[in-house]
Amino acid sequence: MLKNQAAWLQTEKTKQVANCVVMVPPKEFRFNPQTALDNEFQSTHSYSVDDVRQLVMDEYSNMVKGLRKQGIQVIELDYPLGNIETPDAVFPNNWFSTTRDGGLVIFPMACENRQHEVRTDALIATLENAGRHVEFQEDMTAYLSKHAYLESTGVMVIDHINRTIYAALSKRCDREVLEDYAHRIGEYRVISFQTALPSGKPIYHTNVMMAIGENFCVICDEVIPEFERRFVIKSLAQGRQVISISLDQMNKFCGNILQLATINGDRVIAMSQTAYDAFSEAQRTQLAGHGKLLPFDVETIETIGGGSVRCMLAEVFLQSRRGRL
C-alpha cells in the first residue's frame, strides 16, 4: 500500500513541472509605456533602440542555448514584423497556456499593444512542428469586450499537484475571468488575495512575488495583507518548503523563477543572475535541494521590460508525439 501511495505521489508531482517551453525572440523590444502604468519593475533608459535590441537579443540567445544545453526542449516562436510593434513579445507566458490533456488556452491581456502578441495559428503550427499536438482550444478573449483581463501564468501561479490557483488581484487579474478559467480546466480551487507595494499599488503580476515547484515555493508574503497572508502561507505549506523573500529580493526578481524538468528527468530551476545574487547563501542551498540552479543574465530585459526569466518561459504541458521530451 505504501509503495502504491509513493508511486501515485511521484506521478502527481510530475504534473507540476514542464520539460518544454516556448520562447519568443525580442525583435521589437523597447520600453513599453502602456505596461509601465502599473508595472513598477520597469525603468526608463538612455540607450538607443538599436543598442537595446542588440543587448536583449544577446540575453535571449544565451538563455535559449543555456536551457537547451541542460536538456530542456525550447520551442522558438518567431514571427514576421507587422505594422504594430509588440515590444513585450519576449514574455509569451501572458497570452497562452497549455494543459496535459492537449488544451491550448488563449487569454485576454490588458494592454492594447500586448493584445497583438496573440498569434494562435502560428503558435499551433510551431508546436506541431516540434511534436507537441494541440487537441482543443479555449479562447477567453471575449472578455476583452467587458474590459476584463487575465494574463495567464503571469497573474496565476498554479499548484497542479493540489489543483490550486494562487492569484494576486489587479487590473490584469479579474476575479470573474479567474474563476471561469479555473472551472474550464477542471475545477481548480482559487485562492485570490490583495497585495500592496510601498506605493499603495497592487502587484501587477503574481509571478514576480511567488513561484511554486514540486516540493517548494518562494513567496514575498509581506505584500499580502495580514488577514489573507496567514491563509495563503498555510495553504502553500501543505507538502512544500516555504522560502520567504523580502520586498527588496522580490524587486530583484527572486520570485520570478521556474522549476523545469530535463530530458533525463532531472530538475533545474531557471532564474536571472540578478535573482541568484539576491538570494542569501542559505536560500540558494535550500533551492539547490530541489534542482540545479540556472542563472541567466537578462539585466536589460529585466530593467526595461519589468519582467525576468520566468516571464520569458511559457510552459508546454502538451504531450510529445515523438517519444522524447
Half-sphere exposure of 210 (CA within 13 A, CB side): 28
Distances (CA, A) of 20 to 73, 80, 111, 262: 5, 23, 27, 8
The pLDDT of 14-30, averaged and rounded, is: 94
Report the pLDDT value the prediction gives residue 256, as an integer from 0 to 100: 98
The pLDDT of 40-65, averaged and rounded, is: 89
- pLDDT (tens digit, 9 = 90+) per residue, 282-320? 999 999 999 999 999 999 999 999 999 999 999 999 998
Distances (CA, A) of 234 to 131, 217, 221, 290: 39, 12, 12, 20
Distances (CA, A) of 65 to 106, 223, 313: 27, 35, 14
Report the pLDDT value the prediction gives residue 14, as an integer from 0 to 100: 63
The SS3 of residue 232 is helix
Q: Provide the pLDDT confidence category of residue 1 given band limits of 50, 70 and 90.
A: very low
- pLDDT (tens digit, 9 = 90+) per residue, 112-153? 999 999 999 999 999 999 999 999 999 999 999 999 999 999
Report the pLDDT value the prediction gives residue 33, as an integer from 0 to 100: 84
The SS3 of residue 22 is strand
Exposure b/e, 10-49, CB count within 10 A at least 16 = b: eeeeeebbbbbbbbbbbbbbbbbeebbebbbbbeeeeeee
- pLDDT (tens digit, 9 = 90+) per residue, 67-123? 999 999 999 999 988 889 999 999 999 999 999 999 999 999 999 999 999 999 999
Where does 112-259 have alpha helices with state H? 112-115, 120-129, 152-155, 175-184, 226-236, 247-251
Residue 302 and residue 41 in contact, taking contact as beta carbons nearer than 8 Å: yes
The conformation of residue 305, written as its DSSP 8-state character, comes to I
- pLDDT (tens digit, 9 = 90+) per residue, 178-200? 999 999 998 899 999 999 999 99
Report the pLDDT value the prediction gives residue 13, as an integer from 0 to 100: 54
Q: Which cell is 73 given?
A: 526542449
Could you tell me the domains of the chain? 19-315 (3.75.10.10)
Distances (CA, A) of 184 to 105, 221, 257, 314: 10, 28, 26, 19
Report the pLDDT value the prediction gives residue 10, as an integer from 0 to 100: 43
Mean pLDDT of the chain: 93
